[in-house]
Amino acid sequence: MPESMFLITKGRILTNADKNLRHPTHGLYEGLRSALKMSDNAKVTDVIVESDRSHVEDEFFGKKWWPEIPHKEDIVREGYLKAMKLSLAHVTQKPIVTYWIAGVPKFEVMVAESDHQITLFLLTPKPPEGQLPAAEHSYPENLWVVATEERIAEIRDSYPAAYGMTALEENTTTRGIKCLQAKGY
């Protein structure tokens, strides 16, 4: 992930997790708690497809990304269990929404409860360079960055031209400030 790219994202896997956790259940909680591997549980609950398994197991939770950090899968599992426990404590369960924030020095999960939802923040170091998927696998996310024109240009120009980031750029009502929609994978 180049230095200037978005540091907050969802992507397809976390978007699917959000869909799955719009209405958390005790069954989902127990399934995650008892699963040997999160990828097995994620496959059963349609959060991932089989072709995502190596990304989850080898890169994110494995040794390809951040090999010096132990217990990554356990941290994420316990974060989701905490979020579900908070949600299930209410008569009407609150949806769980996840955001990945890359670029921090540690690997941790933060869970926040508001009046309307539980938010899980997955905080990680940046993924290794050269991990950007082909443009045809990307899509516009429901996330926008608002910053100076210079910062927006830096972010936009950090993507290969095939990503079409210029089409996602918008003017704002303030001179010198622009808005750019994020791309997910």
Domain boundaries, the chain: 8-124, 135-184
pLDDT at 2: 44
pTM to 2 decimals? 0.87
pLDDT at 51: 87
pLDDT at 137: 80
Which helix H or strand E contains 181, and what residues bound it?
strand 177-184
pLDDT mean by block of 10 residues, the chain; 185 residues: 61 93 96 92 91 90 94 97 98 96 93 98 87 79 93 88 92 97 85
